[in-house]
Amino acid sequence: MKKITILFLSLSLLFGCNQPQKTAEKPSSPRIKNIVLMIGDGMGIAQVYAGMTVNHGSLNLEQCPNIGLSKTWSASSYITDSGAGGTAISTGKKTYNGAIGVDADTVPQKTILEYAEENGKATGLVATSTITHATPASFIAHQKSREMYEEIAADFLKTDIDVFIGGGLNHFKDRKDSLDLTKTLQADGYSLVYSMKDLEDVKKGKVAGLVYKEAAPPYEDGRGDMLPDATTKAIEILSQDSNGFFLMVEGSQIDWGGHKNDAEYVVTEMLDFDRAIGRVLDFAKADGQTLVIITADHETGGLSLTGGDIEKGEIEAVFTTDYHTSVMVPVYAFGPGSDDFRGIYENTELFQKMMKAFGFR
Ligand code: MG
Ligand code: ZN
């Protein structure tokens, strides 16, 4: 006992001179170890309130104490698409509609996911579209056009992403160049998973979850809890990394309901996305070192609610377009650093704010 005490004393004498410096480095708020960015594609305020009304007046995302608004215009248009919208959030650069991880001059830009990787964090992507679709692609690929799905799939192999779960198996396996990228993924140490059932058995390591050949079906057509379950699984695996993680989760099909002017489709996708939000917030609350950001790339459908009944869970929905609109979209933030997401700012600032939260340069 005595020896230990003496050793302890001499150690504190040795390191004593470093102490003031150490204290100065320590942030006053809890350290941000993980970021979960959740993008509801096409999710404007009306989509959120439609879901809230049908759910009889509440949503999980209401637990976020800090709220902001994001301006979504792109370098080429007053009205963005998901390529430019995703790239603005992932790289901090306004670019042209259709761009994937490249700036307005088609120059590749490093994404927040790539920065996270470079800094030793685990990384993941989850979506209900194909995983090669514009929104998830913007975080990992660098291509001139969002239509280059097979090139985007090949870009996954140039990274060290740990977990990706979504549709799009065909873009990896059934390709024009007849390459089978699933074999390359396997050789790179990924567990290849082709169904949500098989995903349950994976407990650790790198995971390529290509659980549908194309996009996942709409929730209305039997997708079940694919999005919440894939989100939970991604967190279960990524949180094993002691350096923390970055995860982007997309509720891809809120947008597709908007394009179809189908209120039922919008609401069922919104509620599904909110269930995934509930899972993430449960983790973040228990963890205490996770910043959660929930936002959209743009609004879709020009949705307005001209009537409704919270008790009955009914809405009267009117769409004004079958495309996207220019209106600002909400940003909901929870956890350490979430107060930095208050206010009105450009979508590109989401990137800057995430970089700052992680302490990256
Ligand atoms: Mg999308
Ligand atoms: Zn769209």
Q: What digits encode the pLDDT tens for the residues 245-284? A: 999 999 999 999 999 999 999 999 999 999 999 999 999 9
The whole-number pLDDT of residue 15 equals 43
CB 149 within 8 A of CB 172: no
Cα dist. 109→115, 315, 316 in Å?
A: 11, 42, 42
**326 included as an active-site residue:** no
In this structure, what token pair is assigned to residue 169?
């198996």
pLDDT, tens digit, for every residue of 180-227? Answer: 999 999 999 999 999 999 999 999 999 999 999 999 999 999 999 999
Give how many domains the chain has, as a whole number.
1
For β-strands 163-167 and 122-130, DSSP reports them as: parallel
Domain assignment of residue 327, yes or no: yes
**Considering the chain, what is the average pLDDT of its residues?**
93
What CATH number does the domain containing 260 carry?
3.40.720.10
Question: Which pLDDT band holds residue 361 (cuts at 50, 70, 90)?
Answer: confident
Domain hosting 77: range is 32-145+239-358
Question: Which pLDDT band holds residue 31 (cuts at 50, 70, 90)?
Answer: confident
Domain assignment of residue 162, yes or no: no
What SS3 state is found at 145?
coil
Query: Ligand 1 mean position to 294 CA, how many Å?
Result: 14
Domain assignment of residue 196, yes or no: no
Domain assignment of residue 57, yes or no: yes
φ, ψ for residue 166, nearest 5 deg:
175, -165
Task: Kindly tell me the sign of the dihedral angle through the C-alpha atoms of 134, 123, 341, 111.
Answer: negative
The whole-number pLDDT of residue 46 equals 98
In this structure, what token pair is assigned to residue 83?
């390529």
Query: Ligand 2 mean position to 56 CA, how many Å?
Result: 27
Provide, rounded to the nearest whole percent, the portion of the chain with pLDDT above 70: 92
pLDDT, tens digit, for every residue of 124-181? Answer: 999 999 999 999 999 999 999 999 999 999 999 999 999 999 999 999 999 999 999 9
Domain assignment of residue 105, yes or no: yes
Domain assignment of residue 276, yes or no: yes
Domain assignment of residue 86, yes or no: yes
Query: Ligand 2 mean position to 260 CA, how many Å?
Result: 10
The amino acid present at 351, given as its one-letter code, is: F
The whole-number pLDDT of residue 30 equals 60
Alpha carbon distance 148, 133 (integer Å)? 9
* Set 82, 90, 191, 338: catalytic member: 82
Domain assignment of residue 217, yes or no: no
